[in-house]
Structure 1
């Protein structure tokens, strides 16, 4: 398989990841300000919403290695550190959490004798070690978004709003989300949309990089025209 084919497939995986993640986040059930109670976990829409997010997370892992090759020379050490940390924390925090949330906890929620194992405060389960690992990995995940966002903002390889949106998404997850009640549709979009937009834009840039040499990106042409 040629390098161009790998780039195209990886870029398509990133764009599909964004679409599935946003759709799944928007459809994720929320009841009385909580997203992981026995009530929400047993809603008919939950398996479909969760599977969309889970499949999006898998596609992200498929697309990120080629994205790293494309971005590494342009995003500096800060951005590269963020990209590496983003990959690792997705593998640990996101994939690990999604596996438990999607394929273990709903079975507990459906069994009245096992519902005491669900943490009704939103931590998915009452397993202390699992929650602690998820908490640390989650904090590192948000740090990775900030570092990668800085690298993208400074790189010029993508529109600057891409990095700004990624940083804003991390700030929302770290500061705003814990302080506000969760709302159906709105909260899922606010969680998934910033990362989705950034990831999709990276995929678009990778595809555009395959154009003939000397062809400037569309946003660069617009900037030159307005200068």
Structure 2
């Protein structure tokens, strides 16, 4: 059990580092004014999606370790929180995997089809799948952060950073700009993951 908990600490720490790399260092360099096919074919998009896949992978395998770390303080709320986060991580990793290995191929061979999908204006099954993965992942980790605070995780500011980061990303993106605001919010969120990982490793 101790090895799984330690793996969870290492994984969430790595997930936080890759989260910052993905959203604060790589995403701002993507030209979102270009067509969807051009974006999907660009090198920076590929690097970003590879980093995102590592982010979600590390956070996914961190969830069992964090759950075991909180074993004596877990509740039904905590169980549901970790279950949702694990499901969200699974959904989101599948989405990132697709965008790394499949989307660029489609964009290269059928750019018009990709651009049509992006500009159709309708909520497609592709959009629904991505939205479901993102919302499940977000809700799951928000619930985990709330559970950690409720169960006495010390220092409380560490899970608090996760909650703050998830809210700062859309708020600052709207107030400042998506690239700068998103980078600031993502850094706060990533630091929350890193801080939790460090704390778990210190205790194991």
Q: Same fold (TM over 0.5)?
A: yes
- In terms of fraction of residues, the more helix-rich structure is 2
Note if contact 1:108-1:114 (Cα within 8 Å) is conserved in structure 2: yes
- Please state how far the C-alpha of 1:95 moved relative to its aligned partner: 0.9
Q: Report the count of equivalent residues.
A: 200
**Aligned equivalents of 1:142, 1:50: Cα separation in 2:** 18
- Please state how far the C-alpha of 1:105 moved relative to its aligned partner: 1.5
CA RMSD across the alignment: 3.1
Task: Determine the structure 2 residue equivalent to 1:116.
Answer: 113
**Aligned equivalents of 2:177, 2:112: Cα separation in 1:** 23
**Aligned equivalents of 2:172, 2:156: Cα separation in 1:** 23
CA distance 1:139–1:57, change in 2 (3 Å): closer
Task: Determine the structure 2 residue equivalent to 1:151.
Answer: 147
Structure 2: which 5+ runs fail to align?
none
Structure 1: which 5+ runs fail to align?
211-227
**Aligned equivalents of 1:177, 1:81: Cα separation in 2:** 30
Deviations 1:70-128 (A, max 9, x none): 12433544343222211111111x112212222222222223x433224436x9xx882
Within-5 A mapping of 1:24-173: 24-25=22-23, 26-28=25-27, 29-32=29-32, 37-74=36-73, 76-92=75-91, 94-111=92-109, 113-118=110-115, 119-120=117-118, 128-172=124-168
TM-score (norm 2): 0.79
Q: Tell me the SS of whatever aligns to 2:154.
A: coil
**Aligned equivalents of 1:6, 1:194: Cα separation in 2:** 26
**Greater Rg, structure 1 or structure 2?**
1
**Aligned equivalents of 1:178, 1:79: Cα separation in 2:** 32
TM-score (norm 1): 0.72
Task: Determine the structure 2 residue equivalent to 1:193.
Answer: 187
